[in-house]
Amino acid sequence: MSGSRWTATAWIGATWGGWLLGFGFIIAFALISDVIGLSGTQSFVGLGMGAGVGLVQARLVRRRLLPAFAPWFWSCVIGITAPFLIIDILRIVGVGLPYSLQAAVAAGGLLTGVLQARILEKRFHGAGSWIVASAAGWILAAGTSAISDWMFQTKRLSGIVGALLYLGAMLAGGPLLGLVTSVALARMLQREPAV
């Protein structure tokens, strides 16, 4: 749990691993939602990505920063899923709110940041900077999905090169999220080294 063992590379790698796991969860949850008759809902997107990133980050948080596996995991799941769930509920009750992946992820990143800053306050003073870092990181990560969607919809690239660029853009979200949030964690650790 020593902060001196924390590295930005480990954090970025864990976040990217969680991002990749999140895609697997999204696919699994999408299949389950179709089977149980909830096709067309978007909550599984937030649930899958929140669970993937939260699970892998929480393991690193517990080992290297503070003993908070479950709170970190659930803050990510709840924070990222809540905006998607709100959109789904509003759609069900007839409120025509247009769906925007980027807006939902931005709101989820902000909520996740608020919840995780409360956890980080147990170890660091001034953990409020985490809120901004989390929101910015999730917004950039969602931006990679927007780029991928744009490439797909406009058919800018085709063939194997197009497929690889599309996939690369999608997968770049995890490292971007990890990079932005690693800067905030590094600054907190500089102010308050390992205990």
Domain segments of the chain as ranges: 3-191
Render pLDDT for 106-128 as a digit per residue (tens, 0 to 9). 999 999 999 999 999 988 888 99
Give dist(CA 141, CA 177) in Å, integer. Answer: 6
Q: Residue 65: pLDDT above 80?
A: yes
pTM: 0.88
pLDDT above 90 (res 166): no
DSSP SS3 for 156: coil
Please choose, from the candidates 168, 176, 174, the residue with its C-alpha nearest in 3D space to the C-alpha of residue 152: 168
Q: Are 145 and 166 in contact (CB under 8 A)?
A: no
The pLDDT, as a whole number, for residue 4 is 46
Q: Is the pLDDT of residue 91 over 80?
A: yes
Residue type, 114: V
Residue 2: per-residue pLDDT: 44
State both tokens at 146: 């927007």
CA angle 68, 73, 78 (to 5 degrees): 130
**According to the model, what pLDDT value does residue 67 have?**
87
pLDDT at 146 over 90: no
Written as one letter, the residue type at 173 is: G
**pLDDT computed for residue 5 by the predictor:** 62
Predicted confidence (pLDDT) at residue 195 exceeds the cutoff of 90: no
Do 65 and 127 meet the contact criterion of CB atoms below 8 Å apart?
no
Instruction: Calculate the CA dihedral of residues 147, 152, 156, 160 and round it to 10 degrees.
Output: 110
Task: Please state, in angstroms and rounded to a whole number, the distance separating the CA atoms of residues 185 and 104.
Answer: 24
